[in-house]
Amino acid sequence: MRLIGLAVVLALGVALAPRLTDAQPVKVPLLGILLRGSPPSDWWQQSPLGAQLRELGWREGHTVAIEQRHAESNLERLPALAAELVRLHVDVIVTFGTQAAQAAKQATCTIPIVIASGVEDPVRLGLVASLARPGGNVTGSIQGGIEGLDGKRLELLKEVVPRLSRVAVLYNPANPSHVLAPRPIDAYPLQMGVKLQYLAVPDANALEHAFAEIAKGTPNGLLIYADIVTGTHRRPIADFAVRRRLPTMALDKEFVEAGVLMSYGTSVASHIRRAAYYVDRILKGTKPADLPVERATKLELIINLKTAKAIGLKIPQSILGRADEVIE
């Protein structure tokens, strides 16, 4: 009987062996990251996107694989880099920056694309049909669309500098979001008795020209639109503003950490973390067309008191009391 039992076990083993051999390994989702800049080597570990995905149970090399492509400040490379990710058959592309989102959209109409940062108005840019019903392969979390935000920035700057009369504005005409964004603020300065001086900075050389224009002009305030150019050179911009004793308002915290006086805008970190939820939903089977685009709603006022002291400016207590963070 023992011999018969052993024979049965062996027979079953032989019968099942081909099935076990033919079993396919579980496919690990491939996540493509498309950035307009050149992040540090530990970017993924430090990124709010990576941190939030880990909280949601995604582990690089185990439950998800990552392919990163960086334009290294050369935005002309973005279309080719997006095409590389498409050829790798990534399951989702996460974009940082307006130009990155546009490049990804041009490269594929089928692979899901999640906007993580940098896009102000995806409808006007043709990335989605509407925020509530994206209708295609693009969705995510956007920073724009908050009515009157630019006017509020100028109001805050004027509260700090009551004699504010002329504000230089650094923007990149090559950035579609900047082309859309600066002009609507023209109405606000007129009401406040402030004139705007637009200075185009599509590259580092243009930034030096902008510095020269400011130096020979009479602005007593500076407004910076976030971009790959201004972002990469935020410390030199901050240093220049301090040397010129120029009160400066930026759109996000990174500029204030680099030495700019103030920023007022959406919380970039929380905004990027939100993109992780989109990635999670899509990797679990939800179509991007069924995920409404969200606007970042959390606003934060950041003030650098060290910079205020360096330029001989006293920040009113009414402003300090409203600050979300004060850097000393």
pLDDT per residue over 27-67, tens digit each?
899 999 999 877 777 888 888 999 999 999 999 989 999 99
For the residues 1-9, what does the mean pLDDT come to?
49
Per-residue pLDDT tens for 255-268? 999 999 999 988 88
Where do the DSSP E strands lie in the chain? 30-35, 65-70, 92-96, 113-117, 138-142, 166-171, 195-200, 221-224, 248-250, 262-266, 294-295, 299-304, 325-327
What's the confidence (pLDDT) of residue 24? 59
Q: Is 18 part of a structural domain of the chain? A: no
The structure tokens listed for 19 are 């099935």
pLDDT at residue number 20: 46
As a whole number of angstroms, the distance between CA 225 and CA 160 comes to 19
Do 275 and 134 sit in the same domain of this protein?
yes
Q: Percent of the chain at pLDDT above 90?
A: 61
- 12-26, 75-89, 172-186, 274-288 — which is least confidently predicted? 12-26
Two tokens at 132? Answer: 């509530």
For residues 229 and 293, state if they share a domain: no
Structure-model confidence comparison of residues 125 and 243, the more confident one: 243
Instruction: List the single range of 109-113, 143-147, 252-256 with lowest mean pLDDT.
Output: 143-147
In a domain, 19, yes or no: no
Residues 121 and 34 grouped into a single domain: yes
Domain check: are 74 and 103 in the same one?
yes
Contact 220, 161 (CB under 8 A): yes
Q: For residue 10, is it within any domain?
A: no
- Same domain membership, residue 309 and residue 166: yes
Judge if 319 and 282 occupy the same domain.
no
Find how far residue 110's CA is from the centre of its chain.
23
Q: Name 104's Cβ contacts closer than 8 Å, sequence gap at least 6.
A: 34, 82, 85, 93, 95, 113, 138
- Total domains present in the chain: 2
pLDDT > 60? residue 175: yes
Mean pLDDT of 244-263: 95
Q: Are residues 37 and 84 in the same domain?
A: yes
Does the residue 221 lie in any domain? yes
In the sheet that holds 30-35, the strands lie side by side as 65-70, 30-35, 92-96, 113-117, 138-142, 294-295
CA-wise closest residue to 101 among 134, 63, 132 = 134
Residue 160 has pLDDT above 70, yes or no: yes
DSSP readout, 182-205? SGGGGHHHHHHT-EEEEEE-SSHH
pLDDT of residue 8: 47
- Is residue 240 included in any domain, yes or no? yes
- Give the range of the structural domain holding residue 316, as residue numbers without chain letter: 149-265+300-327
Average pLDDT over residues 156-169: 93
The answer on pLDDT for 292 being more than 50 is: yes
Smallest Cα–Cα separation from 199: which of 175, 167, 151, 235?
167
CA distance 85 to 92: 9
Do 306 and 211 share a structural domain? yes
Q: What is the mean pLDDT of the chain?
A: 87
Q: What confidence score (pLDDT) does residue 18 get?
A: 53
Show the tokens assigned to 229.
């150019």
The tokens for 110 are: 């089928």
Same-domain status, 209 and 319: yes
Please report whether residue 16 resides in a domain: no
Number of H helices, E strands in the chain: 15, 13
104 and 233 inside one domain: no
Sorted by sequence, the CB contacts under 8 Å of residue 247 that are 6+ apart come out as: 157, 160, 161, 164, 220, 221, 222, 241, 261, 262, 311, 313
Q: What is the mean pLDDT of residues 141-166?
A: 86
Per-residue pLDDT at 169 exceeds 80: yes
b/e sequence 204-233, b meaning 16+ C-beta within 10 Å: eebbeebbeebeeeebbbbbbbbbbbbbbb
Q: Is residue 7 part of a domain?
A: no
Pair (158, 306) in one structural domain? yes
Instruction: Identify the pLDDT of residue 136.
Output: 95
Question: Residue 38 maps to which CATH number?
Answer: 3.40.50.2300
Regarding whether 283 and 183 lie in a shared domain, the answer is no
